[in-house]
Structure 1
Amino acid sequence: MKRIGVLTSGGDSPGMNAAIRAVVRKSIFHGLEVYGVKNGYAGLISGNIEQMQLGDVGDIIQKGGTKLYTARCEEFRTPEGREIAVNELNKKGIEGLVVIGGDGSFRGAQKLTELGYPTIGVPGTIDNDIPGTDFTIGFDTALNTVIDAIDKIRDTATSHERTYVIEVMGRNAGDLALWAGLADGAETIIIPEEPYDMEQILARLDRGNQRGKKHSIIIVAEGVGSGPEFAKRIEDATQLETRVTVLGHIQRGGSPTGSDRVLASRLGARAVELLIEGKQGEMVGIRENKIVSQSIESALSQTHTIDKDIYRLSQELSI
């Protein structure tokens, strides 16, 4: 293998640039040419592909977002679109591809593998919802962004003696809400993976109010429902003054934490090694602090689950 490509796809996450940097520099270290595909799978189809040098990835390890940009691409979902993408890669003589993104990006990588094109997936998503890895690139940074926001909200919640509902990202996965809730001492955490009982939530608020508690923090993952709806239900039922904050896309941005920079560097480098070894259709991940790999097909066949022990602990500590 002499030439490989790299792209980022789906929602951006902090640390993607660090992963791009690792892919480029690891490739050049091993004497390979490396090409950056801009705008994800849409860039594959349009042929927006350029060779990258060491200087192209200088001074990006600390930056959020993605230097290669990202975009949704409906055309790539079609067999015809994927054929065009492979033809564009072949025109450039690119023999393998590293795809950095979430589950949708991995499904695209799997389709390329089915066409006989060597592809390796690197998990980059703030949702931490890719089976086969303990953590995904961007999760730690987004978690710290959420924690910082909740810390500030708690200050004003205390000052005004209010209940606050905070909506965080996580359409199908509650890791961000769960970890942030435990880290910030939230009274209630509502996530897609676990059923919730509104009466129990109200009872917990009432118990806190009776013992003189002046404020409460309730964290809701967006996949369960909207923050404003939950706030209205609580205020209607309790008459407690309730406010809501939807953190939105602030969770995607910012300089990646040290953990995300190191993780992205390790995963990006290992992806290149796998291509050199002749592997394809695999994803890299981290388990018990060891870099591992498995087939993308196997990973996508699994269901993402939360850490039940963390969820249980959050309930025990929020009495």
Structure 2
Amino acid sequence: MTFIKIDPDRVDAVAGHLDDRADAVEEERKNISRASADNHDPVESVVTATEALPGFLAPSSGSQSFGGVSQGLRSLADELRARSQEARDLNSSGITMQSPDGSPSYCYYLPDPPAGTADVEAYWNATDTVATVREYNSQSVQNARSESAELVEALNSADGRASSGRTVDEILTETAKHQDVPTYGAAYVSAVGVETYLDLVEKFGARHTTYTPSDTPPMNMATKEFDAEGAAADVGVLGHIFAAASQPDVTICDSNGQPLDLVDEVESAVEEDGERGRMRFSHRGGACTRPDRWDAGGGCVSCGGARGERIQDGF
């Protein structure tokens, strides 16, 4: 995974300087155009180079005209500001990244090049765009919050549908598309809460369990059938999400901006007195494990490095 670290204030300062330069170019364009017109015999190339166009017809940033240069500077300034705002929004959403010294830093996330990518530089040139940055950061956070709420609603409804009309299967299918994105995972776990997150395993088990009434005496008996494969697929999505959220570089904060320790949160949830705590203890392996991605095995070791080791030790 790749987090692009930036200093939003300094980036905004650079964007401001680019805007100033664009204003200067535009002013010079007007001066040259005016001087050419005042001489009553304007040079055609000067007219073309200094022609003012409406915004929707503005020349491309690669144009050699004054308008093209000015537009290119403003476009670059807007791109820089978009990235700094994404980093700020991610931080204000309760998701921060850590610098090597452990201090929080402003970053935005982008997916690593796929294995076997021949031209890595070309990959980053094509990937590090405003649209992609928004897709994997602010939009990812919004999707995680809405889809986690939808899932809880659907699991608790009588017909297995959320108010949006989507079924549990439909919601999980969409969720699985983003399950390995750290920003999505962090926002998902944060929105649901660790306790409710662990309780989802039980609900997945219940939705894959059917009871068929007996047609022979005793009539009050029923045959229980459990779709282990279906339940495992559902829980597997949770494992991916928790794995993405529990990376050492990712910090989740509560509504007050205070960092949450996922290990402590899981330990607190499974240590709750009574049946609820015991059920969470038995479910925590499925909800917190994704063994196909990390080599370490056992409990949350598979989805959080040192954090996982602490959870394993606690169990």
| Greater fraction helix | 2
Q: Please identify the structure whose Cα radius of gyration is greater.
A: 2
Tell me if both proteins adopt one fold, taking TM over 0.5 as the criterion. no
User: Which structure has the highest strand share of the two?
Assistant: 1
**RCO higher in structure (CA 8 A, sep ≥6):** 1
Q: TM-score of the superposition, structure 2-length normalised?
A: 0.29
Give the TM-score, by structure 1 length: 0.28
